[in-house]
Structure 1
């Protein structure tokens, strides 16, 4: 029996600590840059007032459609509002929605994959077929269908995006559980008289969850992209909200002033690519 099986939390905590020690010794420059971008985005979401003094809703009509400058880093929009302030204040909604989507995907998909892989039999068959159905529907289309049924706002887009991600987490967790279930220490736990649920919670879950963190980081970036796409199509909160996708949708009507599109689009792309890079790095260091 391995030391990781002594506690449900021992293995993830030890693995995270080991990853942190390795990261402290050597972090690739691209990962360091990605971490800095993600840290900045999170700071924008938590304390936007520290990064801009402009009001994201009320503008100065006399200063409309000004180009990027020292006074207005991202320029101003058609109502004279500082675009940088709108991007910063819109970060909270975009990040919170993506985080909610990831939590839904991890909890629902992880539980489905855990039960399917460990119990097997008809449970595995039923859950596997449900996952296949979800995987057969394009993720963005599934999100559009769900948000149309629930109603147009940011919370519903987060729920729709989370449901669309359930199948991915379920498939990965099921594969990890099946592999872990065949390990020697799991068989030893059964031979020592451990019940199925005891072995599942104390031995299988901590060791099968090693792939969840990199996948969750990757899905976080994908969720930001999907939610921005839904907001672009009008499925999110209406103006004067400043979700990144909504800012891009508004800016496309003023292509003579391209910074209205480029600024929020580049922020979105930078955040998604940074999360993708961090996810790949976590997979390699696991």
Structure 2
């Protein structure tokens, strides 16, 4: 009995060492991609700014000050003021948590349902696979922004409805990726061995299939956050997202477009904030895809 316990503990230690080695190898591959590292550090900086920045701003992001309407950037107002006299820098800082919240929560919703549909469809196949994938095909037939626009038009304009809409249009992408990965893993010999030992379907799916297809899911989630932020900003730009006076970047850009020629700062700074966040997630996502690519691992071992 003691021998069995010792062997079990040794297996756990070896498993832990293997995971650490894999993590170290992954970080080395990621570190080689300078652009991806820059994107990752930028995301970390923006996240910390979203978390702590609102506590260090001196102006209220929603209260108007009509004595300071449309002032140009200065030492007092770094990014200038909007048509209500509100400090644009303050509103961008206070809008950053909203941007991250919309991006992460909507992708979380889409990935949760998409992963579930993809696993069920890929593992069981047959009629269930056919029905689920045809539903996904219908959703994929619509361009993402149009599908989100249709959903928000039905539900009504609000930040919560934008998150739901972006989450729904993210489901088919995750479902397709997970289904394809599940089909590939399901055919491997170790899955047949686990089945022969009497493992239940749920155990096979969540303990043996899902952990082995996490790489494409993580990459897709990272890239999808950028798409979600861009789509949510677009819906707010059209007046279907966050409602005034919420300092949401898409709504700020929409309000500033009326003053683009005389006071370009009103639209420039919210627009450049959206570009920076989306670019950071896209660059980091591309780096993750390269670092998690099995072909790169094989090349590295050689």
Distance 1:17 1:73, change over 3 A: farther
Query: What are the superposed Cα offsets for residues 175-233 of structure 1, whole Å, 9 maximum, x if unpaired?
Result: 00001101121121112222222211211111122211110010001000000000000
Contact 1:229 1:245 in 2 (8 A): yes
Note if 1:83 corresponds to 2:88.
Answer: yes
Distance 1:259 1:104, change over 3 A: same
Distance 1:27 1:224, change over 3 A: same
1:179 matched residue in structure 2: 184
1:237 matched residue in structure 2: 242
Distance 1:23 1:151, change over 3 A: farther
| More moved, 106-115 vs 16-25 | 16-25
Return the TM-score normalized by structure 1. 0.90
Unpaired segments ≥5 residues, structure 2: 1-10, 293-302
Note if 1:281 corresponds to 2:292.
Answer: no
Contact 1:231 1:246 in 2 (8 A): yes
Unpaired segments ≥5 residues, structure 1: 1-5
Larger radius of gyration: 2
Provide runs of 4+ in structure 1 moved above 6 Å: none
Deviation at 1:15, TM superposition (A): 8.2
Partners of 1:264 and 1:200 lie apart in 2 by: 44
2:199 matched residue in structure 1: 194
Partners of 2:187 and 2:158 lie apart in 1 by: 45
Deviation at 1:72, TM superposition (A): 1.7
1:264 matched residue in structure 2: 270
Distance 1:185 1:96, change over 3 A: same
2:297 matched residue in structure 1: none
Deviation at 1:89, TM superposition (A): 0.5
Find the residue that maps to 1:227 and give its secondary structure: helix
Deviation at 1:77, TM superposition (A): 1.1
Contact 2:59 2:87 in 1 (8 A): yes
Partners of 1:184 and 1:168 lie apart in 2 by: 28
Partners of 2:36 and 2:130 lie apart in 1 by: 40
Deviation at 1:45, TM superposition (A): 2.6
Partners of 2:198 and 2:246 lie apart in 1 by: 57
Distance 1:284 1:15, change over 3 A: farther
Aligned residues: 278
Partners of 1:270 and 1:147 lie apart in 2 by: 26
2:223 matched residue in structure 1: 218
1:163 matched residue in structure 2: 168
Contact 1:176 1:209 in 2 (8 A): no
Contact 2:118 2:178 in 1 (8 A): yes
Contact 1:98 1:223 in 2 (8 A): yes
Partners of 1:99 and 1:79 lie apart in 2 by: 30
Distance 1:20 1:154, change over 3 A: farther
2:132 matched residue in structure 1: 127
Cα RMSD after superposing both structures: 2.3
Deviation at 1:94, TM superposition (A): 1.9
Partners of 1:172 and 1:228 lie apart in 2 by: 26
Deviation at 1:17, TM superposition (A): 6.4
